[in-house]
Amino acid sequence: MERAVTTDQITEGAIRRLVGAFYGKVRADPELGPIFERAIGGNWDQHLAKMCDFWSSVMLTSGRYKGNPVAVHQHVAGIELQLFDRWLALFEQTCGELFDATIAAAFTTKARRIAESLKLAVFYRPDRPWPIGVAENPPRAAP
């Protein structure tokens, strides 16, 4: 049985390291980099600070993040469904490089849920078929 990760094992410093390393990979990625550059432009410092607040709120329940990720992602030019999988792969790779398996799993479990929620919020429409393999339990239109 895997032991639970406690918040004292995940620190603000660890979150800052993760955010910095991960978004360094995102910026260099040929698929994600251009999307993020268009969306963020020259405001990387502000975006990184916001992402530290986001992950602090998610992992440490700090309550620092005050944004609306769904609304933001709905307005990103060029965003495509499969890019969430690329984002998640880079995130999981970064977690694996920075943390032991237990802490990496704590972050990646949350990241998978967040990615799935965003994919559904941004792309799912009840009048269109949901792509096979995108969600374990694809949404169904009401009868």
| Domain annotation covers residue 92 | yes
Count of the separate structural domains present in the chain: 1
| Domain annotation covers residue 134 | no
| Domain annotation covers residue 6 | no
| Domain annotation covers residue 143 | no
Q: How far is CA 93 from CA 46, 74, 77, 125, 127, in A?
A: 24, 26, 26, 31, 35
Question: Which residue matches tokens 């990103």?
Answer: 76
| Domain annotation covers residue 139 | no
Q: pLDDT at position 135, please?
A: 47
Percent helix, strand, coil in the chain, to 5, is 65, 0, 35
Low-confidence ranges of the chain (pLDDT < 70): 1-7, 129-143
Q: pLDDT at position 5, please?
A: 53
Task: Find the domain containing 39 and state its range.
Answer: 11-123
Number of H helices, E strands in the chain: 6, 0
| Domain annotation covers residue 142 | no
Q: pLDDT at position 130, please?
A: 60
Q: pLDDT at position 133, please?
A: 55
| Domain annotation covers residue 75 | yes
Q: The domain spanning residue 116 has which CATH number?
A: 1.10.490.10
DSSP state of 132: T
Q: pLDDT at position 138, please?
A: 45
Q: pLDDT at position 1, please?
A: 45
Q: pLDDT at position 47, please?
A: 94
| Domain annotation covers residue 99 | yes
Q: pLDDT at position 132, please?
A: 54
